[in-house]
Amino acid sequence: LTAAMAAVVLAGAAQMWMLYAFALGFGVVAGFAVPAENSIVPTLVRRDDLQAGNAVIMGVTQFMGFAGPTLAGAVIAGFSSTTTGPGLAFAIDAVTFLVSATTFFLMRPASVVEGTDQPTGLGASIRDGVRRLWGDPAMRFVLCVLATVNLFAVGPLMVGIPLLAHDRLPSGAMAFGVLMAAFAIGNLAGYGAAGGTRLPGARTMRAIVIGVLAAYGVVIAALGTITNLALAAVLLAALGAGNGYLGITLLTWMQTRTEPSMLGRIMSLATFASLGLVSVSQAASGAISRWSLDGLFLLSGALVLATVAWAATQQGFRAFLTSITEPTHPTDKEAVA
């Protein structure tokens, strides 16, 4: 896809519908790639190194999120008057995908799962994955809470922060870059903290989950009243650190709780829970922001805090905390029983 786009752009034949088609195709590929990325790590590292492995993968991805756009911008800027710059950027991207595909081909799993019956079709595979997830109260609870928090928080952040930077902070474009960098740096710090530790105990995990999610609500609500760039950056950096740490620990917990034959399907459902409602959240946030930016942030923060208060009282949360002390996954036979 990327090589084809590079050829079209370099030939000067690019049209808007091609960009839309490319974005759609790339999104479909990413829909397969993200769950696969989260599923492959447990096959490549020892169980004791799983959390560190996840942290390295996420950290490198975050860092490349800085480096890639910077390099692409430099290439495009060098040919600012023609389409050569964007075409070369696409071509370089295509080469990096080829390198990635080659390295994946050369990888060998640390162990091979044998003796597991695989579904005969896509529909059966999805049904088994949903049945496995829904039959686990702890995992069902975690994914439902994450989906709800993402619905209430991601859209307001993605829509609200650019508006906040443009309307209320000095040097709008620069302020937006500072805020995004602060959140990303916070995430990297969270990944590092998670990679250097193991899954926490039940009591510590309870405090982390409630604390991080509640912080989401408080910080988002506070953004509606902030006009100081430094304060906003500090808050987003702290939020990013909590987000990074919690993301790695929950991913590792989910991987250790899932039997190998179900890992790909569970990771796909987890990705859907995390990203499936983002477009809805963005659309709703855009509509609310036209009414009031303050209202968007305050409503989002209140809904996140209400979700945390509800989640803290649920039986599923207790099941999740109990599972922390017994992180091993059930056998394949137990999962399909």
pLDDT tens for residues 151-162?
Answer: 999 999 999 988
Collect contacts of 21-27 with beta carbons under 8 A, ≥24 apart. Answer: 25/1, 26/1, 26/2
Q: Which CATH architecture does the domain made up of 123-336 adopt?
A: Up-down Bundle (1.20)
Is the pLDDT reported for residue 246 higher than 80?
yes
Q: pLDDT grade, residue 213 (50/70/90)?
A: very high
Determine the average pLDDT of the residues in 69-96. Answer: 78
Determine the average pLDDT of the residues in 46-72. Answer: 80
What mean pLDDT value characterizes the chain?
Answer: 82
Is the pLDDT reported for residue 333 higher than 50?
no
Q: Which residue has the higher pLDDT, 220 or 46?
A: 220
Token pair 């910077």 is at which residue?
70
Q: Quote the pTM value.
A: 0.79
Q: Which residues contact 291 (CB under 8 A, 6 or more apart)?
A: none
Q: What is the pLDDT of residue 219?
A: 92
Distance CA 52, CA 326 (A): 19
Tally the residues of the chain.
337
Q: Could you tell me the two tokens for 297?
A: 């942030």
Q: What is the pLDDT of residue 326?
A: 62
Question: How far from the centroid of its chain's Cα atoms is residue 194's Cα?
Answer: 16
Q: pLDDT grade, residue 335 (50/70/90)?
A: very low
Distance CA 272, CA 262 (A): 16
Residue range(s) in the chain whose domain bears CATH number 1.20.1250.20: 123-336
Determine the average pLDDT of the residues in 27-41. Answer: 75
Q: Which residue has the higher pLDDT, 177 or 247?
A: 247
Q: What is the pLDDT of residue 122?
A: 65
